[in-house]
Amino acid sequence: MRALRVLIPAMALLAACSDPAAKSNAQIPPLAQPSRAAPGDALTMKSSFAPVVKRAAPAVVNISSKRLVRARPDPFWEMFGGGAPRDRIQGSLGSGVIVRADGVIVTNNHVVEGGQEITVALADRREYVARVLLADPRTDLAVLKIDVGNERLPVLAIDDSDEAQVGDLVLAIGDPFGVGQTVTNGIISALNRTADPNGDTSNAYIQTDAAINPGNSGGALVDMDGDLIGVNSFILSRSGSSSGVGFAVPAAIVKRVVETAAGGGQAVVRPWLGARTQTVTGEMARSMGLAVPQGALVADIWPNGPAAKAGLRQGDVIISVDGRPAVDAAAVSYAISSRRPGDQIKLGVRRGGGEQSLTLRAEAPPATPTRDQQVVSGRNPFDGATVVNLSPAVADELGLDPFLGKGVMVINISRGFAMNAGLRPGDLIRKVNGRDIGTVRELIGVLGAGGAQWQVTIERNGQEVTANFRT
């Protein structure tokens, strides 16, 4: 039976909450720093995890979210004068981690996505209404804020030192099934796993065999120092329950998202390599004289991008990033995207028969041409489609290849002719009535000419498809 990727929210009823307290005028506390010191001796740790739990558990919270789901009218019942369908309240339950003493909390985005009322219950059962500071679907992280006045809450330090190793003991703390705070233990099974449920190869995860179940989503993965090394996100399971294959967002990414939110940012800026790469296979390794099939082969370079400025060339093989082996192309992409713009990154490169070191300056992908997002309307095949100009920044946002070239991308489909015509988000509009389409402005201009007969060419999954429509 094929394993299913399962995100971890659980359904639950939500308690009513009072309005949050007035915002404190006290100085904003900094993020806690990891201690790198175990809370007990080796003998104690072998017999009990209690010292770690005592330190970490107070900073783990329960998060409930509810939203109003409007029911669509049924044409059958409307025909016979049936009553209007009733709207319903949909709720989800997950976990979160306090990372700043004034009430900043990190959790999974899928726990609170679409939530119109979000409630945070502390370890001592006090409840607060939370607001979303930043939601980042790419990493499946969201940062919340609760108002606690002058009180200072217990926090978990985010250990982004990247010192975790396969085999390290870890604890997963959360609220599975809504039964109350629960602690499970295990080891780190793997690092830099790219088993993203959305297929985003720029994300990588810590894999653990600590039991993770529905409701653990957004909870803490802590090391034996009692520091946060990851946020539990999803599991691979045949049954929907824990099978010892759980995944957590690494602390380095968590800290990036938290710092962005705390600084007032509305989106996380991810640097890019500025090159198209592919994983070195066994056959490629033999042809290039590599001892092992490892690394990322540079297939194309973006003009004046970070890779070009660093001196990378087509045919180079990236074998390490900041001294750490580059297992494959996905590992290289993750290592670059997890840095901050302006960071200096050391690349180990094999070129010809030798090796050399290059320095790459982390840069955000360029947003050229401008996004120019528009919703198309009118009597044409794209009625109801939301379109944008394709740029490296848009491609990165959508998890697409930035080397697709110039064009107009469909990013959303609502009610209209476009839905009936079979257009999908991710379709790249290449031609309309024989005219090349390079920008949204050009598309709107062609559609504005009107007509009843339309010939449309789109690119979908690397293949061009041409279809004729009558509107």
- Do 168 and 162 contact (CB within 8 A), yes or no? no
47 is annotated as an active-site residue: no
Nearest to 250 by CA among 319, 331, 177, 130: 331
Segments in 48-145 forming alpha helices (H): 50-56, 75-79, 109-112
d(CA 83, CA 343): 60
Does residue 24 carry a catalytic annotation?
no
Q: Angle CA(151)–CA(152)–CA(157) in degrees, nearest 5?
A: 165
From the CB of residue 16, how many other CB atoms can be counted at a distance below 10 Å?
8
CA distance 218 to 254: 11
Could you tell me which residues come within 8 angstroms of residue 284 by beta carbon, excluding any fewer than 6 positions away?
Answer: 290, 293, 297
Q: How far is CA 404 from CA 18, 215, 300, in A?
A: 50, 39, 12
Sorted by sequence, the CB contacts under 8 Å of residue 395 that are 6+ apart come out as: 365, 401, 402, 404
User: What is the sign, positive or negative, of the torsion defined by CA atoms of 442, 446, 447, 453?
Assistant: negative
Question: Strands, DSSP E only, in 101-222?
Answer: 104-108, 117-121, 127-136, 141-145, 169-174, 182-193, 205-208, 220-222
Distance in angstroms (rounded) separating the CA atoms of residues 384 and 225: 53
Contact (CB, 8 A) for 387 and 408? yes
Active-site residue, selected from the candidate residues 65, 95, 217, 391: 217
As given in the structure block, the two tokens for residue 15 are 């308690």
Sequential DSSP letters for 401-442: -GGG-S-EEEEEE-SSHHHHHT--TT-EEEEETTEE--SHHH
d(CA 231, CA 159): 12
- Catalytic residue list contains 140: yes
**Residues 314, 319, 320, 325, Cα dihedral to 10°:** 150
* From 64, 92, 110, 396, active-site residue: 110
User: Contact, 390 vs 409, CB < 8 A?
Assistant: yes
Question: What contacts 273, CB < 8 A, 6 or more positions away?
Answer: 305, 306, 307, 332, 333, 336, 360
Q: Which of 64, 65, 95, 140 is catalytic?
A: 140
Q: Which residues are catalytic?
A: 110, 140, 217
